[in-house]
């Protein structure tokens, strides 16, 4: 009874929001957006696109125009990974066993599949400025590959210290590239390499370099979170 009343109340709230959307003049109608009076019009302008050099406009916004926001976002992810590691810090830890015996095919086939996933993730990361994708999904695919290795082998534990070092190096290089922009050009994270022709693999200046660093950082962070979830305290 209480649940039904709550559902009716919240559905009423939803209907209220929908009616409020239909009545205001300032809110655009669905499906008929005019870009000429929005900020995005400048991002899609031909001169600006050839100056930045990235064919994928979303990548140009995430890494180019709003690179400082992305630095803060990666920091938030780092802090949450740190919190997970802090909550799961035991004195004597061991691997969570999954209670099934992996056979020969599973053990060796998973390693083959891990190689294929690594190649796909590298393709997605390095072509982030040309095709859909980029550092965030590519890093998540690396973490999924590590997860597959954990699931296939009962005794497997990856080298978690290596991930920590990789993450620290990638984060520091991100900040150093930003500071180089401050020294060689005028502002933080400004593009200081010539941004070739739009559509080439080696174009868009520092955008592919930063996206590779973001991919490595996101992949190592999520992989260390997965490792933390698969450890437990050893009951002596």
Partner 1 sequence: MIQYAAILLFVLGLYGIFISTNTIKMLVSLNILEIGLNIFIISIGFNYQGIAPILSSVSDTGLIYVDPLPQALVLTAIVIGVGTTALGLAFAKSIYQKYQSFDLNDMEESL
Partner 2 sequence: MLWFDIISGIVGGLMLILAFLAINSKKLINSVLLLSGLSMLAVVAFVMLKAPDVAITEAVIGSGLVTSLFVFTLLSTRKEAKK
Measured N-to-C along each axis, helices 135-152 and 207-229 cross at an angle, to the nearest 10 degrees, of 30
Query: Is 183:145 a contact under the CB 8 Å cutoff?
Result: no
CB 41 within 8 A of CB 35: yes
What does the per-residue mask of binding to partner 1 show for 113-152, with x meaning CB under 8 A? ------------------xx---x---x------------
Residue 139 corresponds to which tokens in the numbers above? 């890093």
- Is 162 among the residues that bind partner 1 (CB under 8 A)? no
Residues numbered 38 to 77 that lie near partner 1 (CB under 8 A) are 38-40, 43-44, 46, 49-50, 55-58, 61-62, 66, 69-70, 73, 76-77
189 within 8 A of 70, measured Cβ to Cβ = no
Q: CB within 8 A of 116, min separation 6: which ones?
A: none
Residue 26 Cβ vs partner 1, minimum distance, rounded to whole Å: 12
Please tell me the distance from the alpha carbon of residue 192 to that of residue 188, in angstroms, as a whole number: 11
Nearer to partner 1, 149 or 218 (CB): 218
Q: Is 89 in the site for partner 1 (CB under 8 A)?
A: no
Name the minimum Å distance from CB 187 to partner 2: 26
Helix axes 67-87, 207-229, angle to 10 degrees: 20
Which residues sit at the interface with partner 1, rule CB under 8 A?
A: 3, 6-7, 10-11, 13-14, 17-18, 21, 28, 30-33, 35, 38-40, 43-44, 46, 49-50, 55-58, 61-62, 66, 69-70, 73, 76-77, 80-81, 83-84, 87-88, 131-132, 136, 140, 198-199, 218, 222, 225, 228-229
């Amino acid at each position: 009874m209480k649940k039904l009343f709550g559902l009716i109340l919240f559905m009423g709230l939803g209907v209220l929001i929908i009616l409020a959307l239909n009545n205001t003049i300032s809110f655009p109608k669905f499906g008929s957006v005019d870009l000429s009076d929005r900020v995005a019009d400048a991002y899609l302008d031909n001169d600006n696109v050839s100056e930045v050099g990235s064919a994928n406009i979303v990548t140009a916004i995430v890494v180019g125009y709003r690179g400082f926001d992305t630095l803060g976002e990666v920091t938030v992810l780092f802090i949450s990974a740190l919190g997970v590691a802090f909550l799961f810090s035991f004195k004597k830890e061991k691997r969570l066993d999954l209670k099934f015996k992996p056979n020969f095919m599973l053990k060796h086939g998973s390693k083959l599949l891990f190689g294929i996933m690594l190649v796909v993730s590298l393709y997605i990361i390095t072509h982030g400025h040309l095709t859909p994708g980029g550092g965030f999904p590519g890093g998540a695919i690396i973490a999924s590959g590590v997860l597959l290795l954990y699931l296939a082998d009962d005794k497997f534990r990856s080298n978690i210290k290596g991930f920590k070092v990789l993450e620290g190096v990638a984060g520091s290089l991100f900040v150093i590239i930003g500071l180089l922009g401050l020294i060689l050009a005028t502002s933080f994270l400004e593009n200081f390499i010539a941004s070739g022709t739009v559509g080439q693999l080696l174009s868009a200046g520092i955008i592919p370099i930063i996206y590779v660093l973001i991919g490595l950082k996101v992949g190592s962070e999520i992989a260390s979170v997965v490792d933390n979830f698969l450890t437990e305290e050893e009951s002596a």
